[in-house]
Chain A
Amino acid sequence: MPGSARSAVTVNLTPTGVINTSRETAAPAPMRMTISKVNFFYGTKQTLFDVNMSVAANRVTALIGPSGCGKSTLLRTFNRMHETVRNARLEGEILLDGQNILAQDVTQLRRRIGMVFQRPNPFPKSIFDNVAYGPKINGSKDPIAEVVERSLRRAALWDEVKDHLHKSAYELSGGQQQRLCIARGLAVEPEVLLLDEPCSALDPISTAKIEELLVQLKDSCTIAIVTHNMQQAARVSDFTAFLLVGQLVEFNPTPQLFTTPSDPRTEAYITGRFG
């Protein structure tokens, strides 16, 4: 199954032409997103303090930290999902390919930055219609059936669902639903895919499938993932950001952060002394 999915991966060359599936973290990757001096408030309560980091193109960047550290909040600012919450306020600058996302049209922006949520949230529609939703509302010109097949293959779900595309998405298992949500996100060909604890509601086997998928998707997509699970961050990511009570404590290549953390608080967290 993973083999067939891999063969179907369409390789989109990034503007810089960099394709990299290995974890040679020493090689400099161009930055797809740059986050500078981000402060975030819910009403008067500040939840992010002066966060600076970046998301490298065609790499997996992980955000880790204990509950309530602000990692999900930070991720949700990347596609401005924070604006759906009343009284949320963002200060600072977030650049996507050098352009400030806060100055762009929000619907256009979200077509370029897809998102997968904590719990699988397929629409109460058929498998096909779930994947076709994004291209349809965005007026895609490609034949819709091809887009659906391509997206399901990229999400390594095609072989499991190809014979019953018109069944309700709710008939799938939790892990399949989550891969369906990934396929739905991929169908609009986003440049960046954000994942907010995508495996927290899944069993270990489904989790392994999704992790494998993320590594494959790097070829064509830039990925930022929030995870509660340090091992997961270590397994799938190239860069890791460690947050603690709204502050970015450390942001480094993953092998470095997990073997030789530069901050004692990072070390305390990854060795399991708290969190």
Chain B
Amino acid sequence: MNARLRWRKLVSAFMLTMTGVCAVVAVAVLFFILGYLVFHGGRSINWDFFTKLPTPVGEGGGGMANAIVGSAKLLFLASLFGVPIGFFGAIYLAEFSGSKTAFVVRYAADLLNGVPSIVIGIFAYALVVLPFKHFSAYAGGFALGIMMIPITLRSTEEFLLGVPNTLREAAMALGASKWKTIATVIVPAAYRGILTSVLLAFARVAGETAPLLFTAFGNRYWSPGFNQPIESLPHMVYIYAISPYEDWQRQAWAAGLVLLGLILIVNIVARFILARGVAVQRS
């Protein structure tokens, strides 16, 4: 009996230690990456990094201003394309569709979410790059936008469904039409959640490289407008990191750090918005 108890305590201690170590490892990975990026990239981050164009090999200095602006442009286009589709699609799913349609659309959205990003890049290449015969910001934004659709759609739907039915009834009993109920009660009640999901979708695609390889392509110089090949931060990391030049490698670390910092900020802002209190009272 005593030996049995000892054995049980041993197993318990082992399992507790193991699960604890796994939890620590999960968190540590993030801090390890952060620390590594700061260590290697921190030195290369200076004012020039944000304001100057890349310099030719061997010249030293220079920055990634074009990639930073390029990423902003691409993400702007992606949001313009992906967010409305995800948002209105979610409204249809949550408020109008029957359960069968909703099931099919949800399932499709989940599958789309699982499609490898490189495949989405090929798709955008075939659909936008080939017909116009050149790479462009439009093509890159389109590819990233496609990736934003399922993320926005699914999480917006969740937040809309979280609005209690009693609020829908209250509005409709006052003579509000279905559309008015959605626009004046349901979406305002869920807006924090919706905003959060849009920000998370944004942060998710901000670091994507693969869909941009043969859509936005990359550009060593400024890219005026939206109809020319354009540089982006993740693509810059890719190019610079595999280059044989130490100077470029250091800048790749710096670009990675800037990118990660941006994504972290967006994430934190999103959580902050959501944590400022759930807008809807639950009984």
A184 at the interface (CB under 8 A from B): yes
Which stretch of B25-33, B152-160, B182-190, B250-258 is in the interface? Answer: B182-190
Cβ B175 vs Cβ A123 within 8 A: no
* Contact A185–B174 (Cβ < 8 Å): yes
The answer to whether the Cβ of B166 comes within 8 Å of any Cβ in the partner chain is: yes
**B interface with A by C-beta (< 8 Å):** 98, 164, 166-177, 180, 184-185, 188-189, 279-281, 283
Q: How far is B166's CA from A109's CA once the two chains are assembled, in angstroms? A: 19
Given A121-B169, A123-B185: A137 and B174 interface contact (C-beta under 8 Å):
yes
Please, which residue of chain A has its CB at the minimum distance from the CB of B279? A124
Least distance between A160 CB and chain B CB atoms (Å): 19
B55 → chain A closest CB, angstroms = 54
Which residues of B have CB within 8 Å of A137?
174-176, 180, 184
How many positions in chain A have a CB within 8 Å of any CB in the partner chain? 28
In the complex, whether A269 has a CB less than 8 A from a CB of chain B is no
Q: Mark A69-110, 1 if CB is under 8 A from B, else 0.
A: 000000000010100101000000000000000000001111
Q: Which residue of B lies closest to A111 (CB)?
A: B175
- Given A111-B175, A117-B170, A170-B281, A124–B189 Cβ distance below 8 Å? yes
19 residue pairs from A and B, CB less than 8 Å apart: A81-B169, A84-B169, A84-B172, A107-B177, A110-B173, A111-B175, A115-B169, A117-B169, A122-B170, A123-B171, A123-B189, A124-B280, A125-B188, A133-B174, A137-B176, A137-B180, A138-B175, A184-B170, A188-B175
Question: Are B170 and A121 neighbours in the complex by a CB distance under 8 Å?
Answer: yes
**Chain A residues near B164 (CB, 8 Å)?**
121
Residues of A within 8 A of B177 (CB): 107
Q: Is A255 an interface residue (CB 8 A)?
A: no
Residue numbers of A with Cβ under 8 A of B are: 79, 81, 84, 86, 107-111, 114-115, 117, 119, 121-125, 133-134, 137-138, 170, 181, 184-185, 188, 201
- Given known contacts A123-B171, A134-B175, A170-B281, what 19 new A-B pairs fall within 8 Å (CB)? A81-B169, A84-B169, A107-B176, A111-B175, A114-B173, A114-B174, A117-B166, A117-B170, A121-B164, A123-B170, A123-B189, A124-B188, A125-B188, A134-B174, A137-B180, A138-B175, A181-B170, A185-B173, A201-B283
Nearest Cβ on chain A to B252's Cβ, whole angstroms: 46
Task: State the total of A-B contacts with C-beta under 8 angstroms.
Answer: 69
Contact partners of A119 in chain B: CB under 8 A: 166, 283
B185: chain A residues at CB < 8 Å are 123
Given contacts A124-B188, A124-B189, A124-B281, contact A111 B170 (CB under 8 A): no
Of all chain B residues, the one with the shortest Cβ separation from A138 is B175
Set B172, B176, B180, B184: member contacting A81, Cβ < 8 A: B172
Alpha-carbon distance A134/B176, docked complex (angstroms): 8
Cα A181 to Cα B167 with chains together (Å): 11
Nearest Cβ on chain B to A101's Cβ, whole angstroms: 13
User: What is the CA–CA distance of A201 and B283 in the complex, to the nearest angstrom?
Assistant: 10
* Chain B residues, Cβ within 8 Å of A185: 173-174
Q: Which 3 A-B pairs have the closest CB atoms?
A: A111-B175, A115-B173, A121-B166
- Please, which residues of chain A bring their CB within 8 A of the CB of B283? 119, 201
Instruction: Give the residue name and chain of the B residue nearest to A112 (CB).
Output: B175
Shortest CB–CB separation between residue B174 and chain A, in angstroms?
4
Instruction: Tell me the bound Cα distance from A114 to B174 in angstroms.
Output: 6
Q: Which residues of B contact A201 (CB under 8 A)?
A: 283
Tell whether, in the assembled complex, residue A84 and residue B168 are in contact, meaning their CB atoms are under 8 Å apart: yes
CA distance A53 to B166 in the complex (A): 27
Enumerate chain A residues within 8 angstroms of B184, measured Cβ to Cβ: 133, 137
Across the interface, do B173 and A79 meet the contact criterion of CB distance under 8 Å?
yes
Residues of chain B with a CB closer than 8 A to A122's CB: 170, 281
Alpha-carbon distance between A86 and B166 when the two chains are bound, in angstroms? 16
* Of listed A107, A122, A138, A188, residue having the most chain B CB within 10 A: A107
Residue with the greatest number of chain A CB neighbours at <10 A, chosen from B175, B177, B189, B280? B175
Q: What residues of B have a CB within 8 angstroms of the CB of A117 in the complex? A: 166, 169-170, 173
What residues on B are CB-neighbors of A123 within 8 Å?
167, 170-171, 185, 189
Chain A minimum-CB-distance residue to B180: A137
Q: Please give the distance in Å from A196's CB to the nearest CB on chain B.
A: 10
